[in-house]
Structure 1
């Protein structure tokens, strides 16, 4: 009886903890509310299964407890029970996967008017590259990475001469404008994650991955690395500053000294 009661309290306590606990995600600051919806759907499906299983265990512990003179009923298999379990499990898995497929389609379908930026991860800092007045990012090559060219930009590509480079600083973005972030790593696997934006993606050495999002709220938001990347992993942080369009343009126009052409040794 005590074990059955403990199991019931675990089930009820888990539900109560979810409903009244402050352990909830941060307020969203991008267009990815779809991800929140998908997480909530998954939580309620898995939560319902968890409660049902625990309560069933409590029932079995109480109903089939040892009693003097009672003999257990031996039933090696039940095709009816197996069929029901298969159907219910299949429906539950489909209910969790289906919303995710729609969200994933949106996640990889970048709007045509999105602005390309670049985010570079390395042990243990973030660096960023923004398009200059021409609105285009220059090409890069990992073989060109050097102390004088940490992002590996091609000096022969004129589109990259006005690119704004920010090493180990903050990423500034305008509100309400879709952004496609090209993600690269120069050493190990990192993961770009801003909790308020929700979107996150791995940075894999030798590959260029991407995410896109639209900032919907001004403010300063912390960048985290969500992939264990070495001893300094916990210190690999940065900030995203979302500004009104006018303030962002003012800041961008003042970044001429950070353009690739100005930072290149050839310009000295």
Structure 2
């Protein structure tokens, strides 16, 4: 009897939890209400079976409980019962599968008036490409992918020159207009999902998959990778902003085309020398950094990362937080640079600086830090050398006091939470792995060992000084 009562209580608790739980489907924001209907049918069918089975078990326990005055009878076959079970099961399975088949037929049938966008997934961010005025995409090839050509565009195909490239993980779509998303992966298996759209599909390396959706309300909706794609899977997020059609057209017209990227002039380090003059007051004549001025070293850092940070400062995506007082100073200097070409010239000049030897100021346990570094190295490289493919800058050789401050900024949400910071929010998520200040110092102590291993032997043995101030 106690077991029967426990079953009934568990059944009642499960039903109450389902109806009273705060965890429900996100509000629908697309045409795929039929998917919600299919999910609802599945809940009702499986819920009916769940209730029926548990009630039957409780009844059987009470009805056929042991009694001294009777014995159990063995009945190996009951054709009437078997036919009932076959019939009820068939109806249940049909009720589960049939709606899904109708919805799937619609899901793979794209409307003729749908416009297209290509979604490119890679560890661990998204990119987007729209066809240009010719309405067709240019050829791509993963063998053509480089740091400067992340989409793998084929320059010999004129159809691709007007393609619109969106390098960040944030994209806009027009409301009430069907869109076909062509899905492509650069490395491993990913899955493109927007929960409010009720739409998701795998991105399989070597093939092109697709889905289609009609956004039905404006707003911002998060993109998730719904496939375990590696150590940074949880941070592979993006954002779809659904806007009015005229806003979408204005935004699309402001995005760069492949032709405009091909036409960019090569950076001029000589021109960058003059632009660097205001920077030298804080960062040093050769970018060696100055802790008294809270200015990190720039020498040794990759130009592509320097350009991105200057763009972020200029646009207010970095240095806008009221607690980021040092970042606010940089915003003023970044505003002095006229455009991206000037930033590229400045970064090219910084790349000519000799790399100074590392100066170590933070104590920690590098062995413990090495365990945390396994997560960091997936993006920043096993030796902290930085990887443009994952948009992760070089860390080996960077001032350790600066690394400590930035990790603290990421942990506290001072850096990396601005909507325009396409990659900083990934670091803000990863920084949560650091439990406390000791874990941060241990990690930096390990990074310092990478810096010492990569540093050239100095002519002066005292050059590898340890700062104690």
Shorter-chain TM-score tier: over 0.9
C-alpha contact 2:169 2:237 (8 A) present in aligned 1: no
Q: Report what 1:233 is aligned to.
A: 233
C-alpha contact 1:128 1:171 (8 A) present in aligned 2: yes
Offset, 1:49: 0.4
Q: Report what 1:186 is aligned to.
A: 186
For residues 140-194 of structure 1, give each alpha carbon's deviation from its aligned partner in whole angstroms, at most 9, with x where no partner exists.
Answer: 2222222222111221222221212122320111111111000011111000000
In the alignment of these two chains, the number of paired residues is: 266
Hey, what's the Cα distance between the residues in 2 that align with 1:239 and 1:262?
25
Q: Report what 1:253 is aligned to.
A: 253
Hey, what's the Cα distance between the residues in 1 that align with 2:23 and 2:228?
23
With CA pairs under 8 Å and 6+ residues apart, which has the higher RCO, 1 or 2?
A: 1
Offset, 1:135: 3.2
**Structure (1 or 2) with the larger CA radius of gyration:** 2
Q: Report what 1:143 is aligned to.
A: 143
Q: Report what 2:25 is aligned to.
A: 25
Structure 1 length normalisation: TM-score? Answer: 0.95
Offset, 1:8: 1.1
C-alpha contact 1:188 1:205 (8 A) present in aligned 2: yes
Q: Does 1:244 align with 2:247?
A: no
Q: Report what 1:77 is aligned to.
A: 77
Hey, what's the Cα distance between the residues in 2 that align with 1:27 and 1:169?
23
Hey, what's the Cα distance between the residues in 2 that align with 1:165 and 1:128?
6
Hey, what's the Cα distance between the residues in 1 that align with 2:13 and 2:126?
41
Q: Report what 1:157 is aligned to.
A: 157
Stretches of structure 1 lacking an aligned partner (at least 5 in a row): none
- Residue aligned with 2:55, SS: helix
| 1:186-225 paired onto structure 2 within 5 Å | 186-225=186-225
Hey, what's the Cα distance between the residues in 1 that align with 2:105 and 2:258?
35
Structure in which a larger fraction of residues adopt helix: 2
- Residue aligned with 2:48, SS: helix
Offset, 1:22: 1.6
Q: Report what 2:7 is aligned to.
A: 7
